[in-house]
Amino acid sequence: MVDLAGIFLGAVGPIVAIAGVGYALDSTKDVDPGALNTAVVYVLAPALVFHSLAVTDLDADTLARLGVGVVAFTLAMWAVAELVGRATGEREPLLSALVLVAIFSNSGNLGIPVSDFAFGDVGRQTAVVFLSVQSVLMYTLGVYAASRSGGSAGREGLRRVFRLPLVYAVLAALLARALGVVPAADSAAMESVQLVGDAAIPVMLLVLGIQLARTNTGAAVTRTGWAVALRLVAAPAVGLGVAVLLGFQNPDVARVFVLEAAMPAAVTPVILVTEFAADARDGGLGVPQFVSTSVLVTTLLGVPALTLLIALLQSGAVL
């Protein structure tokens, strides 16, 4: 019999607890998440990504398959979301907002720790690769979708991808591996990078809790039904299909890929639509309000959904 309670306490519970601390902190102290988020984006996450990729046990073939898989998953989910949105009568600006919610999972401040708790080192390393590729797509395809929602092309925003330290952390790690110049794992340099990177996970979760505490739901909850269905039902199904087609040699890598694909909606699209579609509305509902509410609802509903999915993945019933 599957121990759902044990899985929740071991893999999901710690995540909920730390995010809950962030939620309570903002509720009582009104903490500005800006400084913490800046530290994550420009220091902690790049260190985590560099260290994880530099010392990963994943071979080059697996890394390549993961990269292709994330791109394939994102494009497939875009097509599904576009079809579902149009079939249900959704129109701009919320159509592009629905696409944003559907295609980008919270693979960073939720996905990495959940995968780490659920599948150990392989989970963490796989999740970092997923996050790295998705981050590039977020500031290219994501900027386009957010700009389309706001009624503009937004090509200038694509330049942001080249200002992301995370992108250069990926390139530096891959280059160091290719040249064979990665310092020893027990060297002072690598231990320092690991120390900084390890701090990313709890800070990410605190930021997630703070951001959720600041989400204004209002009447937007009633409009998130299809967003929830796409993110928590369609996304893991599409992720499973992509994982099967790619044929990962390590089944745990395939399982973490599906788990990452099934994460609740990412937080970054809230930032994108706030910048590129802040004034776009459908009736009385603004695009940023729709996206932020979708993040909150999918995160809350994602707790039991992820617990069940982890149970299925760990049991071998799926993959």
Question: pLDDT of 240-288, one tens digit each?
Answer: 999 999 999 999 999 999 999 999 998 878 777 776 776 778 777 778 8
Q: What is the 3-state secondary structure (H, E, C) of the chain?
A: CCCHHHHHHHHHHHHHHHHHHHHHHHHHHCCCHHHHHHHHHHHHHHHHHHHHHHHCCCCHHHHHHHHHHHHHHHHHHHHHHHHHHHHCCCCCCHHHHHHHHHHCECCCCCHHHHHHHHHHHHHHHHHHHHHHHHHHHHCCHHHHHHHHHCCCCCHHHHHHHHHCHHHHHHHHHHHHHHHCCCCCCCCHHHHHHHHHHHCHHHHHHHHHHHHHHCCCCHHHHHHCHHHHHHHHHHHHHHHHHHHHHHCCCCHHHHHHHHHHHCCCECCHHHHHHHHHCCCCEECCEEHHHHHHHHHHHHHHHHHHHHHHHHHHHHHCCCC
Determine the Cα–Cα distance for residues 177 and 69; give it in Å rounded to an integer.
Answer: 21
Note the pLDDT of residue 32.
Answer: 81
- Give the percent of the chain with pLDDT over 90: 39
pTM of the model: 0.83
Query: What's the average model confidence in pLDDT over 116-140?
Result: 89
Q: Tell me, yes or no, whether 226 lies in a domain.
A: yes
Note the pLDDT of residue 176.
Answer: 92
Containing structural domain, residue 199: 4-314
Which is more confident, 12 or 317?
Answer: 317
Those residues with Cβ within 8 angstroms of residue 87's Cβ, 6 or more apart along the chain or in another chain? none
Note the pLDDT of residue 152.
Answer: 61
| Confidence band of 160 (pLDDT split at 50, 70, 90) | low
| Confidence band of 49 (pLDDT split at 50, 70, 90) | confident
Q: Tell me, yes or no, whether 152 lies in a domain.
A: yes
The answer on pLDDT for 304 being more than 80 is yes
Note the pLDDT of residue 7.
Answer: 64
Which is more confident, 234 or 108?
Answer: 234
Note the pLDDT of residue 2.
Answer: 53
User: The domain spanning residue 209 has which CATH number?
Assistant: 1.20.1530.20
| Confidence band of 312 (pLDDT split at 50, 70, 90) | very high
Which is more confident, 159 or 137?
Answer: 137
Q: Tell me, yes or no, whether 188 lies in a domain.
A: yes
Q: Tell me, yes or no, whether 319 lies in a domain.
A: no
- Give the percent of the chain with pLDDT over 70: 91
| Confidence band of 167 (pLDDT split at 50, 70, 90) | confident
Note the pLDDT of residue 206.
Answer: 85
The answer on pLDDT for 110 being more than 90 is no
The answer on pLDDT for 78 being more than 90 is yes
Note the pLDDT of residue 195.
Answer: 94
Number of domains in the chain: 1
Note the pLDDT of residue 12.
Answer: 73
Q: Tell me, yes or no, whether 172 lies in a domain.
A: yes
Note the pLDDT of residue 1.
Answer: 47
What radius of gyration, in Å, describes the C-alpha atoms of the chain?
19
Q: Tell me, yes or no, whether 206 lies in a domain.
A: yes
